[in-house]
């Protein structure tokens, strides 16, 4: 993959993912509600307010209005900017250092870059999850935190739980983004190169990046969804006075409790919306990133 300066990749990666977030945030709201529905309850023992993608979109719109489909957008944009800016910057550095040329290098670089991005963006993802879970009492799933805004949520968490409270749940976010980032960055680069090799499409066409993103999205959803469910649960759970989670002690505890009390398929709750969210988000992010990088390279060539 042709490279641009890491600082430029930071800006381009953050911008591309923020653009994608605007389009896919409604699916993120639906996915969050589905993943929290029936928390630690056996199937068939709880009311199902959200059933499938289209019915869930209608349910959210009825309960919260059309604007409810963009709940948590500001926090989502903040998260995408922070997490993906760091992720693409670190990945670009690794590529410049030649790591991507080593066996398995793209996977390692993608995983490490994703982990660093997840740590930086964790407070924003925490607030995003809690805001998207909020709704009227009759349609509520999961714990309701009653935040009024992104800044209000950050202030409340800081005041009640201290600085560490803003990073509560990061233990679930890091493996989530590590596996997703490794799958996305590694498969996108490989898939794009494969499509170019086959010469089915013009080499510089945006359709090459689109095809690479479509292939990449399948791998991302397959490996990321269980960690996504766990991450949503850890971020949204209520806490005690000491800031400890009242439902889960951490990543392993959450996985075990979901498996035992809800069954293994619960780790793929919201899979449909997750794919329809992650798929377009992956495609749009990688497409925007790839096209922006082309523009940046052209600008560099013209300046020289």
Listed residue (126, 128, 134, 94) closest to 110, CA to CA = 94
Alpha carbons 248 and 250: distance in angstroms, whole number:
6
pLDDT in tens, 133-147: 999 999 999 999 999
Which of 105-119, 140-154, 239-253, 268-282 holds the top average pLDDT?
140-154
pLDDT in tens, 141-183: 999 999 999 999 999 999 999 999 999 999 999 998 888 877 7
Q: Which two tokens stand for residue 85?
A: 């800016």
Q: Which two tokens stand for residue 209?
A: 């990046």
Task: Dump the DSSP string for 65-98.
Answer: -GGGGGTTHHHHHHHHHHHHHHHHHHHHHHHHTT
Question: Domain with 135 in it: what CATH number?
Answer: 1.50.40.10
pLDDT in tens, 55-90: 999 999 999 999 999 999 999 999 999 998 998 888
Alpha carbons 175 and 181: distance in angstroms, whole number:
10
Mean pLDDT of 225-229: 93
Tell me if 94 is assigned to some domain.
Answer: yes
Q: Answer for the pair 262, 38: CB distance below 8 angstroms, yes or no.
A: yes
The yes-or-no verdict on residue 205 having pLDDT over 60 is yes
Q: Which two tokens stand for residue 188?
A: 């996108």
Tally of domains within the chain:
1
Q: Is 142 exposed, middle or buried (0-12, 13-18, 19+ CB in 10 A)?
A: buried
Q: What is the pLDDT of residue 109?
A: 84
Considering only 49-58, 65-74, 188-197, 240-249, which range has the smallest mean pLDDT? Answer: 188-197
Hey, is 142 helix, strand or coil?
Answer: coil
Q: Answer for the pair 241, 232: CB distance below 8 angstroms, yes or no.
A: no
Banded pLDDT at 302 (limits 50, 70, 90): low
Tell me if 247 is assigned to some domain.
Answer: yes
Query: Could you tell me the end-to-end alpha-carbon distance of the chain, in angstroms, rounded to an integer?
Result: 21
Tell me if 293 is assigned to some domain.
Answer: yes
Higher-pLDDT residue of 209, 16? 16
Query: Position of tokens 């600082």?
Result: 7
Long-range contacts: 291-295, Cβ < 8 Å, 24+? 291/206, 291/209, 292/12, 292/15, 292/16, 293/2, 293/4, 293/8, 293/9, 293/12, 294/204
pLDDT in tens, 4-51: 678 887 887 788 888 888 988 999 999 999 999 999 999 889 999 999
Let me know the angle formed at the C-alpha of 31 by 242 and 220, rounded to the nearest 5 degrees: 100
Tell me if 290 is assigned to some domain.
Answer: yes
Tell me if 70 is assigned to some domain.
Answer: yes
Mean pLDDT of 197-219: 76
Tell me if 10 is assigned to some domain.
Answer: yes
Q: What is the pLDDT of residue 3?
A: 59
Hey, is 239 helix, strand or coil?
Answer: strand
Q: What is the pLDDT of residue 110?
A: 81
Tell me if 95 is assigned to some domain.
Answer: yes
Alpha carbons 295 and 235: distance in angstroms, whole number:
38
The yes-or-no verdict on residue 1 having pLDDT over 50 is no
- Number of Cβ within a 10 Å radius of residue 259: 14
Q: Which two tokens stand for residue 215?
A: 């292939």
Listed residue (215, 186, 179) closest to 95, CA to CA = 186
Task: Dump the DSSP string for 159-195.
Answer: HHH-GGGGGTTHHHHHHHHHHHHHHHHHHHHHHHHHH
- Report pTM: 0.84
Hey, is 245 helix, strand or coil?
Answer: strand
Q: 180 is in which domain, residue-wise?
A: 6-303
Tell me if 1 is assigned to some domain.
Answer: no
> What's the chain's average pLDDT?
87
């Amino acid at each position: 993959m042709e490279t641009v300066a890491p600082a430029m990749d930071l800006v381009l990666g953050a911008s591309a993912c923020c653009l994608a977030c605007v389009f896919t945030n409604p699916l993120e709201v639906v996915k969050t509600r589905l993943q929290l529905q029936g928390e630690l309850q056996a199937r068939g023992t709880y009311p199902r307010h959200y059933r499938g993608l289209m019915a869930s979109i209608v349910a959210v719109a009825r309960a919260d209005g059309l604007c409810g489909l963009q709940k948590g957008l500001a926090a989502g944009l903040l998260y995408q900017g922070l997490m993906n800016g760091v992720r693409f910057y670190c990945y670009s550095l690794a590529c410049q250092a030649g790591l991507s040329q080593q066996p398995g290098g793209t996977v390692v670089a993608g995983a490490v870059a994703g982990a660093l991005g997840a740590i930086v963006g964790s407070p924003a993802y925490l607030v995003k999850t809690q805001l998207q879970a909020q709704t009227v009492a009759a349609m509520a799933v999961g714990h309701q935190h009653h935040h009024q805004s992104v800044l209000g949520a950050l202030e409340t968490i800081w005041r009640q739980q201290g600085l560490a409270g803003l990073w509560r749940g990061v233990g679930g976010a890091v493996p989530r983004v590590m596996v997703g980032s490794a799958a996305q960055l590694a498969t996108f680069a490989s898939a794009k190169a494969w499509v170019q090799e086959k010469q089915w499409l013009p080499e510089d066409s945006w359709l090459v990046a689109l095809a690479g993103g479509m292939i990449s999205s399948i791998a991302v959803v397959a490996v990321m969804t269980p960690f996504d469910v766990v991450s949503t649960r850890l971020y949204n759970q209520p806490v005690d006075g000491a800031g400890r989670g009242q439902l889960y002690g951490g990543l392993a505890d959450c996985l075990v409790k979901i498996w035992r009390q809800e069954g293994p398929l619960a780790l793929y709750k919201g899979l449909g919306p997750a794919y329809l969210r992650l798929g377009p988000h992956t495609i749009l992010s990688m497409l925007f990133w790839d096209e922006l990088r082309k523009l940046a390279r052209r600008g560099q060539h013209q300046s020289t």
